[in-house]
Chains A and B, each alone.
Chain A
Amino acid sequence: MNGAQIDFQQLRIKHILYKSKVRSVLYGGVYDENFFTASGPVGTWFTTVGMPRYGLQAEMRELAIINQDLNATAINLFHLYKSGRIDQAHDGLKNVETKSDRFINILSQLERKLKDSPLSIYSS
């Protein structure tokens, strides 16, 4: 396993954690405000690993954009939930899932691209 693989595995795991966290808030879990800001785990990954190391890749920039979109969707669902529109908030999880599918697809694309490329831009 090389450094890039570990970096992407980290993002994948942090992304799954992110989704779990969104769902947990919508099922009565604690709302950890910081988690859903740029200083949350996924945000931190983008600023410390993703952009500095892979910022030149179009896919990485797209991932960052989807992530922001996902976060906006999540925060909107939290508002619905808090205002008592619980069913609507749960229903909105579908949108999170669609965006997440796209996120994972692009991440896999980028992984394949960097694995196949002999000129991996990553060197640790």
Chain B
Amino acid sequence: MDFQLLFAHIPETIVVLAPEAGYKILAATNTYLRTTMRQREDIVGLQFLLEAYPDSAVPYAENPVKISLDKALATKKTDYLDVLRYDIVKPTADGGGLEERYWEASHTPVLDASGNVLYIIQNTHDVTERELAKQAQQKSEQKFRFMAESMPQIIYTVNTQGEFTYFNQHIVHYTGLPLQAFTGTGWQNIIHPDDLPTLTARFAEVQQTGADLQIELRIRDKAGNYRWHLLRSRQMKDENGNSIMRVGSATDIHDTRLLVQELLATNEQMADLSDQVQFAYQQAETERKTLERLIMESPAFFCIIKGPEHRYELINQNYQKLFPNRVLVNKTVAEALPEVVDQGFIDILDNVYKTGKTFMAEETLIKLDRYDNHQLEDVYLTFTYQPLYKEDEQIIGIIVFGYEVTEQVLLKKKLEELGNA
């Protein structure tokens, strides 16, 4: 078997070096030559880094490749180099220019039977795909971290052991404490002591069950006040359904809670007031009915006339008896009783309405067409005109109260006549 030929065709980027100062190139695969765009005869026999592939950017002693080779030689174990970016020239057929490429190299010493290093194999892998994926992931992580950092609420993560692994900046802003203050059990210091036992119990519970968590609790702010928060957390799983961590948030609901309680207190007061209104209304109604009965069924006559034009508003049975056939309510005195206009009663009403002075009349004669037959009848009345006031002491009408004394007056007159006879 032609191992020389076989080696040259291994589809890997391999170069073999001598274990000596300068690391002379002993062999290289075709892939290596193609990748580095060199011919075999141009590099074999040259010192690897000093002659064949010098790097002018780094002094030889600090070249990471040289350091790794030294290490592999000294430890006699494979040494891995950090990922390197080494862009390769694209064929002009593919548009030319450089193509972004990442490489990972290893230096493996080849030992003889007594453990001496015979060769060092440098094997370089194209890890561009893995690198780009890693970069994309980092970018995406940065994006989500930025989002979490900018959230106006506390965001955190907890690992599968139940330890807090991340808090966003909001917790620093809210508590005024540095992030280090929350490591270990430090976070417990900002939880209200009354809420802590339930919280730790629920934390342990959901850590076991993987259930969603929602709990209201008080968290201390930088001024030392405890504000109510709604804490939520949810388990995050990998594609196989295994728990990776829990992601949580705490939202300040303090003002909402206060608002709701204030609203309740206001509505309770309103309900109390409305009960009082109801009670007062019932009481007023009872009193009004008693008064109404008293007035309407009183043996005296009574009426209320409103306004400067003296319009009847309320009359009782006895007042109606003075004019049995007339409709009085909503008419003015002058309209309802045209016969009294010339007898001076309207003037007296005007005066009471204007001055507020009560007018009292005793056994006063008034001529009334009682039965609407144009026959004026002598009627004697004892009565008062009393002003009716509004709440602001303004006169709005007149209360008429009195009784008919015709029979008594006529009797008296008859007695006098008899006495004179």
**Contact partners of A14 in chain B: CB under 8 A:** 271, 274
Q: Are A85 and B214 in contact (CB under 8 A)?
A: yes
> Which residues of B sit under 8 angstroms from A16, Cβ to Cβ?
267, 270
The answer to whether A23 and B278 have CB atoms under 8 Å apart is: no
Q: C-beta contact mask, B255-267 vs A, less than 8 Å → 1, else 0?
A: 0110011011011
Contact, CB under 8 Å: A13 / B213: no
- A27 and B256 contact, CB distance less than 8 A: yes
Interface size on B, residues (CB 8 A): 27
A91-119 interface mask toward B, CB cutoff 8 Å, 1 = contact, 0 = none? 00000000000000000000000000000
Give min CB distance, A30 to chain B, whole Å: 10
Q: Does A9 contact B (CB under 8 A)?
A: yes
Cβ B214 vs Cβ A20 within 8 A: no
- A24-B271 contact given A3-B285, A84-B215, A124-B285, CB 8 Å threshold: no
Cβ–Cβ contact A86 & B216, under 8 A: yes
Tell me whether A10 and B274 are in contact (CB under 8 A).
Answer: yes
Of B215, B274, B282, the contact of A13 (CB 8 Å cutoff):
B274
Residues of B near A29 (CB, < 8 A) are 260-261, 264
Which of chain A's residues has its CB closest to B231's CB? A86
How far apart sit A112 and B323, CA to CA, in the bound complex (Å)? 40
Q: How far is the CA of A29 from the CA of B253 in the complex (A)?
A: 13
Determine the residue in chain A with the shortest Cβ distance to B215.
A84
Q: Across the interface, do B263 and A41 meet the contact criterion of CB distance under 8 Å?
A: no
Q: B220 contacts which chain A residues (CB < 8 A)?
A: none
CA distance A17 to B264 in the complex (A): 7
Structural contact, A86 and B214, CB atoms closer than 8 A:
yes
**Which of the residues A3, A20, A28 comes within 8 Å of B257, measured between beta carbons?**
A28
Kindly report which residue of chain A lies nearest to residue B253, judged by CB atoms: A27
Q: Please indicate which of the listed interface residues B202, B213, B267, B277 has the most CB atoms of chain A within 10 Å of its own CB.
A: B267
User: Mask for A1-30, Cβ within 8 A of B = 1, else 0?
Assistant: 101001001100110110011011001110
Q: Chain A residues near B71 (CB, 8 Å)?
A: none
A86 touches B230 (CB 8 A): yes
Indicate if B335 sits at the interface (CB-CB under 8 A): no
CB distance from B153 to the nearest CB of A (A): 14
B216 touches A28 (CB 8 A): yes
Nearest CB in chain A to that of B230: its residue: A86
In the complex, whether A87 has a CB less than 8 A from a CB of chain B is: yes
B227 at interface, CB cutoff 8 A:
no
State which size class the interface on A falls in. Answer: 20 to 34
Query: Is there a chain A Cβ closer than 8 Å to B297's Cβ?
Result: no
For A49, give the chain B residue with the smallest CB separation.
B278
The residue from A6, A10, A27, A41 contacting B261, defined by CB atoms under 8 A apart: A27
Question: Which of B257, B271, B277 has a CB less than 8 Å from the CB of A6?
Answer: B277
Residues of A within 8 A of B281 (CB): 1, 3, 6
**Does B370 lie at the interface of the complex (its beta carbon under 8 Å from any beta carbon of A)?**
no
Once bound together, how far apart are the Cα atoms of A85 and B260, in whole Å?
19
Separation of A85 and B266 alpha carbons in the complex (Å): 28
Question: When chains A and B are docked, how far (Å) is the Cα of A124 from the Cα of B266?
Answer: 30
Are A21 and B232 CB-contacts (below 8 A) given A3-B281, A13-B270, A27-B256? no
B62 → A minimal CB distance (Å): 58
One digit per residue, 1 when the CB lies within 8 angstroms of any chain A CB and 0 when it does not, for chain B 267-292 equals: 11011001101100110010000000
A26, closest chain B residue (CB): B260
The reply to whether B270 and A87 contact each other, CB–CB distance below 8 Å, is no
Cα of A6 to Cα of B284 in the assembled complex, Å: 13
25 of the cross-chain contacts (CB-CB < 8 Å) are A3-B285, A9-B277, A10-B275, A13-B267, A13-B271, A14-B271, A14-B274, A16-B270, A17-B267, A17-B270, A20-B263, A23-B263, A23-B264, A24-B260, A24-B261, A27-B253, A27-B260, A28-B216, A29-B261, A29-B264, A84-B214, A84-B215, A86-B230, A87-B214, A87-B232
Q: Which 9 A-B pairs have the closest CB atoms?
A: A27-B260, A20-B264, A20-B267, A86-B214, A24-B264, A17-B267, A13-B274, A17-B271, A27-B257
Contacts A13-B271, A20-B267 known; list 19 others, CB within 8 Å: A3-B281, A3-B285, A6-B277, A6-B278, A9-B277, A10-B274, A13-B267, A14-B274, A16-B270, A17-B270, A20-B266, A23-B263, A24-B264, A84-B202, A84-B213, A85-B214, A86-B216, A86-B230, A87-B230
Q: Which A residues form the contact surface with B (CB < 8 A)?
A: 1, 3, 6, 9-10, 13-14, 16-17, 20-21, 23-24, 27-29, 41, 84-87, 124
